[in-house]
Structure 1
Amino acid sequence: MAAEAKPAGKEAAKRRFLELIGQGWPSARAAREVGVHPRTGRDWRRGVRKSSDTRVYPDGTVVDSGSGTRYKVSMIDPVEAEVHSRYLSQVDRLAIADGLINKQTVTEIAEEIGKHKSTVSREIARRSLEGVYLPHRAHGAAAAARARPKTCKLVDHRVLREQVEQGLERKLSPEQISHRLVKDFPDDESMRVSHETIYQALYFQARGGLKREVQKALRTGRARRKPQRQPGQRQPRFVEEMVMIADRPAEVDDRAVPGHWEGDLIIGANNQSAIATLVERTTRYTMLVHLPHGHDAEQVRDGLIQTMSTLPTHLRGSLTWDQGCEMARHKQFTMATDMAVYFCDPHSPWQRGTNENTNGLLRQYFPKSTDLSVYGPEDLEHVAQELNGRPRKTLDWDTPAERLRDLLTT
């Protein structure tokens, strides 16, 4: 479609951008047409407002791009807002007031409103005025305390701010400052501030109140908060990206196609020695890898490459392993053998159950807490031959060696 003359001014550009979006233009193309960055166009499309380094989303979320701090501004009247059931509602507070008038105990009131007696006791102590509990006033005070964003305490309290700045200049940590204030001002409740509030004031100046210069007093020397790992979020196990078992082809899962292996280490006494075990999923054929020089990533890589290279190409399909650090060089193994490596989920040994079962059988030959370095390649070959010569119920009482022989001769 033909482009029209570019409008002048930010508001005109925004109007023109939204018009083009309404006509079906892609966001990036419409942004180029009106002469703005694609991200600006996406913000306009989603209703995001930007002021300096702060971005305000339509749901009230505010993000400071400098510090990464995120908080939420209430978009409705905090007094009338519905609160979570674990907090006291206005109806609960009216019931507390009625209970006090009728001389009920705190326990009786708590049972009536379905809250813990400690919650009711703290509410009465905190919100009473000269011994009288006023439910509407208490609810308004609670709503005001709940509202976000709040003015930082260090902004409004000059004496407290000066004490914090002096502590930072003395190279004290925010936690040391917070606890020291309790000792230095035991009778002054206004001289209290949490270490998190101090960090917020340092890392997010718009909510802070502390001089920017005192940031240098932090031991880390950082002017921004370091992002922390969220609960449940795992750090990448290896530098080289893993392919997880969920991405393993269906032909591997149903054991219909031979040549797909499961592997692991059995560890000797004091974690000083190891043997790598490999089991073919279709035939249950076992191979043992001698690791005379240790079981770090390089030794395991070399041992697996040497062992797998003895197999014909059609039996080198894939290898499934757990997330042990011995497989950190898995990409190099794949390049040398042309075998894809798939990794199990954390703490999920059943995802390579054939290998787990085989390792249990191997402990008959290599008991736990023994030195595995005393076993040479001939010993490992003898044990593997014995296992591969055992009839298996899952193979209709054939042996793994017989099943592998059939694959090699057909």
Structure 2
Amino acid sequence: MQGKDALRHELPVEKALRSGRTGRVPQSKLPRRSNRPWLEGARLSNRPAEVEDRAVPEPWKGDLAVGPENSGLVTLVKWRTRFALVGRLPGIRASMTVSELMQRMIHSLPSEFTKTITWDQGQQMAQHRRFTIATECEMYFCDPHSPWQRGSNENLNGLIRNFYPNGTNFNQVAGEEIAQMQDLLNDRPRKTLDWATPREKLGALLTGVALAS
């Protein structure tokens, strides 16, 4: 099983942002802004002000961890609790495929906890308006070359690479293995959470919502 050694050892407490860059910032491979109509009205500057307050348990950060042969994982992490959702793509990284997988992923949680997701400007979420209609979850996009605007997701993807290094073909990794990795990440105590686990933190929020309703 890929990542077998990583499953046997405790992960590092925290990791820095994992852009992998060691030199100058490369020229952007994104299409020109005028050719990215899906960004209109959905940039971070358009996000409601209350989302910036960490007391509001809503924002998620999202991205892809990619491999050869169009393989990849959709990775989502909750901003405040660091609770992660990881889903394997079926060898297709088209926008509609990514959107449909994300719909299934967030439907596993109450709607109170799936209000907004922050993504980079890649065209994998060009269908984000259809996604929002289906889920009532709004998508917002980071500024170019600004990984710190979704730093918790950069951290998550770095932790995932402890299990599956760069170059891993995710088409050859069973969905059960991905689910096991997700559970290990959510059940690991985190320094940033005062040594609670992401699952414990999310459970406390879910309990609070249930008591308030």
Same fold (TM over 0.5): yes
Deviations, residues 213-243 of structure 1 (Å, cap 9, x unaligned):
xxxxxxxxxxxxxxxxxxxx83241357351
- 1:259 aligned residue: 58
Instruction: State the aligned residue count.
Output: 177
**1:239–1:342 Cα change, 3 Å:** closer
Where does residue 140 of structure 2 map in the other structure?
342
Q: Which amino acid aligns with 1:394?
A: T
For the residues of structure 1 that align with 2:77 and 2:63, how far apart are their CA atoms? 9
Q: TM-score, normalised by structure 2?
A: 0.79
State how far apart, in whole Å, the 1-side matches of 2:108 and 2:142 are: 25
SS at 2:33 equivalent? coil
Q: What is the deviation of 1:251?
A: 2.8
How far residue 283 of structure 1 moved from its aligned partner, in angstroms, is 0.5
1:303 equivalent to 2:126? Answer no
* Structure 1 unpaired stretches of 5+: 1-232
Alignment of 1:245 with 2:44, yes or no, is yes
Q: Does 1:375 align with 2:173?
A: yes
> How far did 1:246 drift?
1.6
Amino acid at match of 2:42: V
Give yes or no for contact 2:39–2:121 (8 Å, CA) kept in 1. no
- State how far apart, in whole Å, the 1-side matches of 2:134 and 2:33 are: 29
Per the TM alignment, residue 250 of structure 1 is displaced from its structure 2 partner at its CA by: 2.8
| Greater Rg over alpha carbons, structure | 1
1:25 match? none
Q: What does 1:1-400 align with in structure 2 at a 5 Å threshold?
A: 234-239=33-38, 241-269=40-68, 272-400=70-198
In 2, distance between residues paired with 1:316 and 1:351? 18
Query: What amino acid sits opposite 1:319 in the alignment?
Result: I
Q: Secondary structure at the match of 1:235?
A: helix
Q: Using the alignment, how far apart are the partners of 2:190 and 2:103 within structure 1?
A: 28
Report the alpha carbon displacement of residue 353 of structure 1 after superposing the two structures with TM: 0.5
Q: Aligned with 1:390: secondary structure?
A: coil
Shift of 1:287: 0.4
Letter in 2 for 1:376: A
Distance in 1 between residues matched to 2:152 and 2:38, nearest whole Å: 28
C-alpha distance in 1 between matches for 2:77 and 2:181: 13
Q: 1:360 to 1:240 in 2, by over 3 A?
A: closer
Displacement of 1:268 in angstroms is 0.5
| 3-state secondary structure, aligned to 1:364 | helix
TM-superposed CA distance for 1:380, in Å, is: 1.3
> Which amino acid in structure 2 is aligned with residue 261 of structure 1?
W
Counterpart of 2:34 in 1: which secondary structure?
A: coil
Alpha carbons 2:77, 2:156 under 8 Å: kept: yes
4+ residue segments displaced more than 6 Å: none
8 Å Cα contact 2:106/2:114 also seen in 1: yes
Corresponding residue of 2:10: none
Q: Which runs of 5+ in 2 are unaligned?
A: 1-31, 209-213
User: Equivalent residue of 1:342, what SS?
Assistant: strand
Of residues 386-395 and 370-379 in structure 1, the stretch that sits farther from structure 2 once superposed is: 370-379
CA distance in 1, matches of 2:38, 2:122: 13
Please give the alpha-carbon distance, in whole angstroms, between the structure 2 residues aligned to 1:364 and 1:373: 18
Paired with 1:287 and 1:349, the residues of 2 have a C-alpha distance of 19
Going from structure 1 to structure 2, the CA distance change for 1:252 and 1:273 (only over 3 Å counts) comes to: same
CA RMSD of aligned residues (A): 1.5
Amino acid at match of 2:62: G
Aligned equivalents of 2:201, 2:127: Cα separation in 1: 31
